[in-house]
């Protein structure tokens, strides 16, 4: 009998979705969370593992002789030692493009919060500031009209395109820095100007990161790049935390180098209490939730099931190793 073990199912399915389809493929065991010390013991009988953020190391793979398949419940698969998986004949799959519109939606929300300060004003009203105001209205921070402003995208995949469509509908100008040429079919017919990374930093009123994390892009947002930006500019990161040098961004916000930042990802997750961005001014932070809409999680589990079934049927799909 085939056995599939999900190592950390709680984040993708905290109880509002169903694992029933996975149970149709054999024995299915779900753990909300799995520590490094429990991983091997929980996985010994499994021929298939599902993981979101639980790290599957070379040492763990070597201790699991029955293991034939690892399904990553995410697009990024850096939690798996893929070289070890390949050496042991273990197929690894991922789930691409399941959260495109959800991530673009949250990026828009971060941008709008920085521009209109809805949350800050809501808190001020509920704290009694409007009740005690001498005038018919008040503001607690500068407000920005985004129409006519420039959105700069670093990286232009499906999420970048989805965000660009929203920004274009709002009347923003779009520029993008991307490794490959942006042809009209790649840009969905939108009027997007391709620029260098340096030009994106210099020209953007809102700079949004949508590139993969590599040795070249780690700390792409740093002290040197931030000083080239407009003092009125915002930085958004819904990609990977290490794209941003946290201390450099915190310093830039504290010193008025840029006007604000909206972040859904940080260097460490959950962050340390000492993370400088937690106390930086004009810094809006959400806890890595851009992907976490019910609709996106439904697509995630549906694709993860199809990946596993396709593997069992001898026709693997979305394979990254195998």
pTM of the model: 0.93
CB atoms within 10 A of CB 180: 8
Q: If we measure between CA atoms, which residue out of 75, 73, 8 comes closest to residue 42?
A: 8
Give me the mean pLDDT over the 117-123 stretch.
96
Concatenating the DSSP letter of every residue in 16-62 gives SS--HHHHTTSEEEE-S---TTTHHHHHTT-SEEEESS--B-HHHHH
pLDDT at 46: 98
CA-wise closest residue to 49 among 35, 63, 33, 29: 29
Give the Cα separation of 67 and 63 in Å (integer).
Answer: 9
Q: Indicate the Cα dihedral angle 28, 33, 38, 43, nearest 10°.
A: 20
Percent of the chain with pLDDT over 70: 100
Residues 6+ apart with CB under 8 A from 30: 5, 6, 9, 19
Q: What's the pLDDT score for residue 88?
A: 97
Residue 322 has pLDDT above 90, yes or no: no
Pairing of strands 319-321, 91-93: antiparallel
Residues designated as active site:
240, 269, 288
Distance from C-alpha of 322 to C-alpha of 301, rounded to nearest angstrom: 21
Domains and their CATH numbers in the chain: 3-98+294-321 (3.40.50.720), 100-285 (3.40.50.720)
- Give the DSSP per-residue string, 192-203: EEE--HHHHHHH
Give residue-wise pLDDT tens across range 195-249: 999 999 999 999 999 999 999 999 999 999 999 999 999 999 999 999 999 999 9
């Amino acid at each position: 009998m085939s056995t599939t073990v999900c190592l950390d199912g709680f984040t993708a399915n905290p109880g509002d979705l169903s694992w029933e389809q996975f149970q149709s493929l054999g024995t299915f065991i779900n753990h909300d969370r799995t520590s490094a010390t429990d991983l091997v013991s929980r996985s010994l009988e499994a021929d298939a593992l599902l993981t979101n953020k639980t790290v599957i190391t070379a040492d763990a793979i070597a201790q699991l002789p029955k293991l034939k398949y690892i399904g990553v419940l995410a697009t990024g698969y850096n939690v798996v030692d893929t070289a070890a998986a390949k050496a042991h004949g273990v197929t690894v799959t991922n789930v691409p493009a399941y959260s495109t519109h959800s991530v673009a939606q949250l990026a828009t929300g971060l941008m709008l919060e920085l521009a209109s300060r809805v949350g800050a004003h809501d808190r001020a009203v509920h704290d009694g500031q409007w009740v005690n105001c001498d005038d018919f209205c008040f503001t607690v921070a500068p407000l920005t009209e985004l129409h006519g402003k420039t959105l700069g995208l670093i990286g232009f995949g499906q999420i970048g395109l989805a965000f660009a469509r929203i920004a274009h509908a709002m009347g923003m100008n779009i520029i993008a820095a991307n490794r490959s040429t942006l042809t009209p079919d790649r840009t969905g017919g939108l009027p997007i100007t391709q620029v260098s990374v340096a030009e994106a930093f210099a020209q953007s009123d809102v700079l949004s990161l949508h590139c993969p994390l590599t040795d070249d892009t780690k700390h792409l947002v740093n002290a040197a790049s931030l000083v080239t930006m407009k003092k009125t500019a915002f930085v958004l990161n819904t990609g990977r935390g290490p794209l941003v040098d946290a201390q450099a961004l915190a310093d830039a916000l504290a010193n008025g180098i840029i006007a604000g930042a909206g972040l859904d990802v940080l260097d460490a997750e959950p962050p340390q209490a000492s993370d400088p961005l937690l106390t930086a001014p004009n810094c809006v932070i959400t806890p890595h939730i851009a992907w976490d809409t019910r609709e996106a999680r439904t697509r995630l589990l549906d694709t993860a099931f199809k990946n596993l079934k396709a593997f069992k049927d001898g026709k693997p799909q979305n394979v990254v190793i195998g």
